[in-house]
Structure 1
């Protein structure tokens, strides 16, 4: 009875929220006013990705508070030339200089109604359709539950549950709009949590193939993380500038963390991740030179924030397997920085020209000569580059780049597995986007270049549980996933999908396999 009451209240609240959004749209657009030329241009060229009210959709929000690091002259260049390593196209042949400048002035102008999303707004959207213990504990299908994949199909906003042994689809369901940041599994692999760009957090019961709870955490959301004890979820928002913690069971809101420094300057959150050995969440900030560490909640005690000063903004970051070190970089910076989370300070800098995608970095052991000239196995970090055609391989003891592997263009994703001799990297940006390189981890040489679907973007490799198989996405509305033997590199199977992006294996994600992103 309680569940049904909460569900009904939540549904009423969602209807109310929709009415509120509609009212906001009418007020913001100014009913009765003459629609300006710039508003027409924005609606035609920008709204599909950035939202009709500039609140963000597949692209980020375009409001003054969200453009803190982008000067007006740089914004004009971005509109004209597009933006490296994003889906932002160039408009110089579509919009003239006056139109482009008018758009810049428009997006740097505050909206008529300042958007907000308060605790009251969050609570009003919560819907619990099935309380814990209500649904059976036995899965409704037969499969190795730790070798499942969830395939996110961004073309029509669906998710496919895939058997990682047979590579046969088990179920396909509708998701929220524009999932982002990768789903996160509960430690036992039964539940998966999704974050959508427009702030919706969805808890899904894989055993019963049902949505069990939802809540809207923000207006424009970056990603989420779940604690290692499976008891809490932390959500990183671009808009509002905050982090929001929820109880993992029914997505009850626990706490809002406004993100600002001692001077009152606010910031978007680049991303938040779980740090298993530390029993904390780690967040890097988009507009403040700080890293935040927040302990898991303890009953009766409020989690306080530990703030660590860093040398530059951290748009993209990666952890060593022990979660003692955070390795991050700012978009467009000349290098990276290594933050010792125990010491609470930056301890190294790394020369990384271009735009390293450290969030897609992976590690493995590689023989390197020590000071005595003897070979010893050391852990190396490898990262693709969003701007230049190369993979940087870094010695994680000296933090020196030991090799730059030349690729046929900038890459987005890199993946491997503890049991695989190979690392795979795509060539996501540029004319060779239909190619994927396979690198021998023992020689740091490209041993094979695949071109599985000429003319279509090939990206995001993920391994199965034991590392024996690899699946690759063809990012196209008429797309597919392709299964390869991870050792012979031979193609085995193709499954049609609607622009499949990420594929996430339960075992690799819950065990924090060091060949995949966390």
Structure 2
């Protein structure tokens, strides 16, 4: 018996309506709860609420633990651990918080499907490749552009890193998560939490959206093929829901191949429908992408060298690592990839040259490196560092097995920080400082604070400062990004979308604020991606 899509949707709506009545919520309230949960909660707790970075929120488990509506309202309002205080920050209203407490105690709605046909039907090329410029039309220093995510506005702002002028604003999907650059830096590849991927051409006089495709319903990661001979040929998106990865044409985003990541937890028989693709990087040693499969505890090496999209299978090597892999980045030599396994409190190391698992390093609670920070320490040699969401610690790890084998793949220094809640950590070879934010700390003072440690003398006390004006705007300072020559770094004041905030620009040596980027357009700025650094994996 064949079910039509309309009939399937209709039956799902009827089931949702019955579910809503049983829980005292109207169908409209259930729909609003689903929307809020997707936008604010699913990334950490999972679409099916089974937990990952965040706790398991299945209603039976909440009820068994005695969690009632009043308890959940208090947690949503005030935050918990690394979870933001949605109420105190003004992101959710008291009415929405009451709704979400009841929604979480309701059975989990069945998430919708998304097919390859859906992707094709939601793929648009705005500017064909043949009509794009063959050399830069702009006279600006486009390699020092910053792509600034205006998260809740559904936009990416392109800002001139030399003049600090707004070059243009490009509409994107909801809650853009990251930008990645093509190998030559010409294109920004965008992925939003609504699963919409876009290409922004930076060579045009004003940055131009040239193609887009809604690849899935929830996503966090995107990258391109960067190995010699394959530069820009393909793009890949890692999806949270449905759990899969999708290979696209690198110039047009035409969908080419969808591969499911549903499967089993490493070394067990537990089957996972929600087996999400977290971070992705493009190998410098072979034509491969490294994909981190979150719930399953595996790293997949996806070979794109011989993809015959008319029938030849894709070669995927699966490495058992640790569960709940999240984000990470390259060590200084770009051979070793280090990725956080949040819930396991570990950093996993993969050798991109040999395609092998190297180490699993115990660190603090909920490591969250972003892409981490690389520098050469006078004693330990090349090192890489991560901060933590739940611990007030920075873990510094040795990454040089040949030159400094006694320190390789060990925590050589655990630095105490004044607050927990670090989200991003950064440095640059031109700066003497290791800089961190406290974006998800539990207090407004911490959220408004930045700290810097001397990279050569980690025993010294840090220089910490509360960014003027951030607390008044209820803004959280987030995401440090250096400019092309490393002379300055930018940090966003992430506030409410109803109020403009700012981007603070600091001297990378003196730590003095040089200027502020302001304007009515500066609303919910979060991640910033410098073209040169992003294209060349400098962090």
The 3-state SS of whatever aligns with 1:202 is: strand
Structure 1 residue corresponding to 2:537, chosen from 512, 515, 518: 512
- Alpha-carbon distance between aligned partners in 1 of 2:6 and 2:508, rounded to the nearest angstrom: 48
Task: Call closer, same or farther: CA 1:352–1:45 in 2, change over 3 Å.
Answer: farther
- Alpha-carbon distance between aligned partners in 2 of 1:137 and 1:39, rounded to the nearest angstrom: 60
Task: Call closer, same or farther: CA 1:141–1:89 in 2, change over 3 Å.
Answer: same
Compute the displacement of 1:347 (Å). Answer: 3.5
| Structure 2 partner of 1:398 | 408
Gap regions ≥5 residues in structure 1:
1-19, 369-376
- Alpha-carbon distance between aligned partners in 1 of 2:358 and 2:156, rounded to the nearest angstrom: 41
Task: Call closer, same or farther: CA 1:30–1:140 in 2, change over 3 Å.
Answer: farther
Gap regions ≥5 residues in structure 2:
400-406
Structure 2 residue corresponding to 1:259, chosen from 258, 261, 272: 261
* C-alpha contact (below 8 Å) 1:127/1:214 kept by paired residues: yes
| Structure 2 partner of 1:149 | 146
Task: Call closer, same or farther: CA 1:100–1:141 in 2, change over 3 Å.
Answer: closer
- Alpha-carbon distance between aligned partners in 2 of 1:472 and 1:334, rounded to the nearest angstrom: 27
| Structure 2 partner of 1:211 | 209
- Alpha-carbon distance between aligned partners in 1 of 2:427 and 2:31, rounded to the nearest angstrom: 37
* C-alpha contact (below 8 Å) 1:232/1:297 kept by paired residues: no
| Structure 1 partner of 2:291 | 283
- Alpha-carbon distance between aligned partners in 2 of 1:22 and 1:201, rounded to the nearest angstrom: 29
2:155 matches 1:172: no
1:101-135 alpha-carbon deviations (Å, 9 max, x no partner): 86445343x53xx6211111111111112111203
Task: Call closer, same or farther: CA 1:171–1:339 in 2, change over 3 Å.
Answer: closer
Compute the displacement of 1:140 (Å). Answer: 4.5
| Structure 1 partner of 2:457 | 443
- Alpha-carbon distance between aligned partners in 2 of 1:340 and 1:46, rounded to the nearest angstrom: 45
Task: Call closer, same or farther: CA 1:340–1:184 in 2, change over 3 Å.
Answer: closer
The 3-state SS of whatever aligns with 1:57 is: helix
2:264 matches 1:268: no
- Alpha-carbon distance between aligned partners in 2 of 1:353 and 1:226, rounded to the nearest angstrom: 32
| Structure 1 partner of 2:404 | none
- Alpha-carbon distance between aligned partners in 2 of 1:451 and 1:63, rounded to the nearest angstrom: 34
Structure 2 residue corresponding to 1:51, chosen from 24, 31, 35: 35
2:240 matches 1:225: no
- Alpha-carbon distance between aligned partners in 2 of 1:498 and 1:24, rounded to the nearest angstrom: 36
| Structure 1 partner of 2:403 | none
* C-alpha contact (below 8 Å) 1:329/1:356 kept by paired residues: yes
- Alpha-carbon distance between aligned partners in 1 of 2:201 and 2:99, rounded to the nearest angstrom: 48
Compute the displacement of 1:297 (Å). Answer: 4.3
Task: Call closer, same or farther: CA 1:142–1:345 in 2, change over 3 Å.
Answer: closer
Compute the displacement of 1:25 (Å). Answer: 8.2
2:496 matches 1:493: no
Give me the TM-score of the superposition, normalised by structure 1.
Answer: 0.82
The 3-state SS of whatever aligns with 1:255 is: strand
Task: Call closer, same or farther: CA 1:310–1:137 in 2, change over 3 Å.
Answer: same
- Alpha-carbon distance between aligned partners in 2 of 1:335 and 1:423, rounded to the nearest angstrom: 21
| Structure 2 partner of 1:372 | none
- Alpha-carbon distance between aligned partners in 1 of 2:508 and 2:21, rounded to the nearest angstrom: 56
